[in-house]
Structure 1
Amino acid sequence: LLQEHRDTLIDELWLDHDLGGDDSILPVVTLLEEAAFNGRPFRIGMVYVHSANPTGAETVVRSLTRWNYQVRRATA
């Protein structure tokens, strides 16, 4: 879905670390990191990370912040 909107400004992107079973959002985080590394980061206004997994959420926040994405941890 991100690739379909590659050149579009995405106002908000909401990410949850744990997706069920052994799946996590980390492949999407890697895609965002690689895009920034290659000098073409996705145009995202704010990435919100919400997760019941505090360690996983912090990993996502730290990884994306390192690449200058605007990131906030959303809490309930």
Structure 2
Amino acid sequence: MPIILGVDDLRPLPQATRLARTSGEGVLLLEEHRDLEIDELWLDHDLGWDDSIMPVVALPEEAAFAGRPFRIGMVFVHSANPGGAETVVRVLRRWNYRVRRAVA
């Protein structure tokens, strides 16, 4: 069964096998799947109030910097915040993750 993780405060993301609603939950979700092949990772930039996806994005970024990147087939960034979404795309592509902008 594919592993499809999502981090979004509002969208249901029915394709996700696991879903986090805050950056803190998202960090824990990625840490739980650290040594597994993640088929898809769906990320929303704005997670309500003053929360954003950036603490979650920092995990694969730091892992790649350390020479042990997460194994993620594709990262989909879906956000109503174009600037925030582009930041996520730019950061993850810099570390050779496959990333696409998407509509969720």
TM-score (norm 1): 0.96
**Greater RCO structure (CA 8 Å; 6+ sep):** 1
Q: Deviations over 1:13-72 (max 9, x none)?
A: 000000000100000111110000000110000000000000000000000000000000
How many pairs are equivalent?
A: 76
Unmatched 5+ stretches in structure 2: 1-28
Q: More strand by proportion, 1 or 2?
A: 1
- Pair 1:37 & 2:55 matched: no
Amino acid at match of 1:36: A
Counterpart CA distance in 2 for 1:44 and 1:59 is: 18
> Percent of pairs identical after alignment?
82
Amino acid at match of 1:42: F
Unmatched 5+ stretches in structure 1: none
Counterpart CA distance in 1 for 2:74 and 2:98 is: 5
